[in-house]
Chain A
Amino acid sequence: MSPRWSRLSLPLRYAWRNAWAHRGASAVTVFSVAISVMVYVVMTATADSLKGIAASTGDPANVVVLSKGAGSAESSRLDAPTVTAARYAPGVLRDASGEPLASVELLAMRRIPIPGLPPDDPAAQRYMSLRGVTPAALLVHPGIRIAAGRFPAASGELLIGRLTTENLGAVGIGSEIAIEGKPHRVVGVLAAEGQFFESELWMTLEDLRGRSGDREASAVVLRTSGPQAAAQLVERIERSRQVNASAKTEVEYYAQMQRVSKAFVYLGNLIGALLGLGAVVAGANTMYATMSRRIREMGTLRALGFGRWRVGAALLLESGLVSLLGGAIGVGLAFAWDGIAFSIVSLSFELAIGPANAAAGIAMALAIGAAGGFLPARSASRLEIVAALRHV
């Protein structure tokens, strides 16, 4: 062993063995820290996952056309002439037969009864996002693929997002889901790599238009050749007199949808801070207790020439070690939730715990250790040698 390492190893062993010597109290601190870190990591990872969906949905080459002043597609209404004008705007790519790559879409939020449960029980219903589309949607949204089955070809057929099972239970191809009282059959499952669409129910445009019979749409999504072309198209539409609508790049549009993640960031920080504070208190309690039982020992170390800061640092090291262990356990526990799907209102997502979240958890544990051990360590550094040596 190199001299440096062996010089460090004894303080570490000292810290560890002391922690073990009062392992009951140490265990309480470890547990406190573990719970705090676990909750914090899960909550911030949830916020990140939600933000991630917003960030990954949206192709940089796409432009979303909405009615003027509409904040989102749900509150937007484009009349037929506007839809046509948008579809044929210059800059929109065409397919092989010359048709514009434009997806006309209608968005609605509806209460959907969970299949298999009594339909008039209000708690057995969920608000879901419905999207009326044409086959052009698959061309315009490149990240989407049909994971199973096929695209809806007629009214009464549904293409369900992969994660809709979170809200509706075990539904798959062949299941029946009632939309506004009318039964629909699932003919396909849509996968889209963590994008919003995986929480949606897709049907034909005419199907969703249904009773109202009008030719309105919520939005038209236009495909261009790239981000620059998209930006140019946005500007052209915004300034246009023929197209009475507003436009955004699709990336920008979905970036706005990060509201829900904000709530989680806020809650996560708040709850994490309170739990962390509790862990600091538990840690401080433990360290004070161990310090008061080692007063003579610390006096001896001072007598043997160890500086006052070194003696305090030994306590801080112990506190840090115990908290680090708690943090590692907490992060480990948090990973048990990795990959599990959750839903918040109509949005379903798969929780992803990333290295950044884990690192934040460890950092939190170290901070707790430092905070909990600080005052006891300071007390230790202020011991008066002679009095300490005389301590019972």
Chain B
Amino acid sequence: MSGLVEIRGLYKSYWRGASEVPVLSDLSLDIARGEFVALMGPSGSGKSTLLNLIAGLDRPTRGSLRIDGRELADFAETELDRWRNRRVGFIFQFYNLIPVLSALENVEIPLLISDYGGDERRERCEAALRIVGLGHRLDHRPGELSGGEQQRVAIARALVNDPLLVLADEPTGDLDSENAEEVLSLMALLNRQAGTTFVMVTHDPRAAAKARRIVHLEKGRLADAT
């Protein structure tokens, strides 16, 4: 398997007033294509920060972060936006769907700024929703869907653009155990059958168990990796 994510000597700090608060210190990590990685650690360990950096939502203070061979730090802001749009899928703890749009329209959002034509966009969206098992709920608004269904719409949205990797931040944090199980199984299935790369931040060991590799973070560094 080829290296998709290559991180070397990554540092990230935030500034609180005049003092520097380090969050990640000298972190190095490799993630290969087709992996399903769970990032775990106590709160404040920097796992969400690491995810944000991989996503290109934030820039590291120091160090190298290469994805698919390209150094993210070299990207200008608009290039980063474009890159996220085409190469990354997101799953959030609170689904982050747009309440005034239907499921189909929500899934279409990333495609709006791509080059796909109208017909192709519609096909992709419908296909994505079918994959997650919501092909019959295209026109429902998030308010009419259960938590689990909403998260599945979010997964469809994450997949619709054929991303290099899908990043999930506490995807089951707001779901009951039954729905959490459904969502995680779906992710695992996609990973196995379609080879979609998943990086998931979670504090729930049962969720982590669904992943194929668990990476522990502690105080901004890798603890022992399994």
Chain A in direct contact with chain B (Cβ < 8 angstroms): yes
| A interface list, Cβ under 8 A from B | 1-3, 6-7, 10-11, 13-14, 17-18, 20-21, 296-297, 299-308, 310, 385-386, 389
- Name the contact of B90 in the complex, choosing from A11, A20, A304, A310 (C-beta under 8 A): A304
Task: Kindly identify, within residues 113 to 133 of chain B, every residue whose CB is under 8 Å from any CB belonging to chain A.
Answer: 113, 117-119, 121
Contact of A385 with B100 in the complex, beta carbons under 8 Å: no
In order of increasing CB-CB distance, the 3 nearest A-B pairs are: A305-B85, A17-B100, A300-B96
Inter-chain pairs besides A304-B109, A305-B85, A310-B113, 17 sampled, C-beta below 8 Å: A6-B118, A6-B121, A7-B118, A10-B101, A10-B112, A13-B105, A14-B98, A17-B100, A18-B100, A296-B94, A300-B90, A303-B84, A305-B83, A305-B84, A307-B78, A307-B81, A389-B96
Contact of A303 with B118 in the complex, beta carbons under 8 Å: no
**B110 in contact (CB, < 8 A):** yes
Q: 1/0 per position for B73-100, CB-CB distance to A under 8 A?
A: 0000110011111100010101010111
> Which residues on B sit within 8 Å (CB–CB) of A304?
84-85, 90, 109-110, 157
How far is it, in angstroms, between the C-alpha of A310 and the C-alpha of B58 when the chains are bound? 19
The interface residues of chain B, by DSSP majority, are classed as helix
> Which residues on A sit within 8 Å (CB–CB) of B149?
none
How far is it, in angstroms, between the C-alpha of A139 and the C-alpha of B90 when the chains are bound? 85
Contact of A305 with B52 in the complex, beta carbons under 8 Å: no
| B interface list, Cβ under 8 A from A | 52, 55, 57-58, 77-78, 81-86, 90, 92, 94, 96, 98-101, 105, 108-110, 112-113, 117-119, 121, 157
Closest Cβ–Cβ distance, residue A252 to chain B (whole Å)? 60
Contact of B118 with A305 in the complex, beta carbons under 8 Å: no
19 contacts between A and B (CB under 8 A): A3-B117, A3-B119, A6-B121, A14-B98, A17-B100, A21-B99, A299-B96, A300-B92, A300-B96, A303-B90, A304-B84, A305-B85, A305-B113, A306-B113, A307-B81, A308-B77, A385-B58, A386-B52, A389-B92
- Name the contact of B58 in the complex, choosing from A2, A7, A386 (C-beta under 8 A): A386
How far is it, in angstroms, between the C-alpha of A301 and the C-alpha of B82 when the chains are bound? 12
Closest Cβ neighbor of A304 among chain B residues: B110
- Name the contact of B81 in the complex, choosing from A1, A296, A302 (C-beta under 8 A): A302
Contact of B118 with A3 in the complex, beta carbons under 8 Å: yes
Closest Cβ neighbor of B14 among chain A residues: A386
Contact of B57 with A386 in the complex, beta carbons under 8 Å: yes
> Which residues on A sit within 8 Å (CB–CB) of B86?
305
How far is it, in angstroms, between the C-alpha of A17 and the C-alpha of B106 when the chains are bound? 13
Closest Cβ–Cβ distance, residue A237 to chain B (whole Å)? 73
Closest Cβ–Cβ distance, residue A206 to chain B (whole Å)? 78
Closest Cβ–Cβ distance, residue B127 to chain A (whole Å)? 18
Contact of B100 with A305 in the complex, beta carbons under 8 Å: no
How far is it, in angstroms, between the C-alpha of A88 and the C-alpha of B178 when the chains are bound? 108
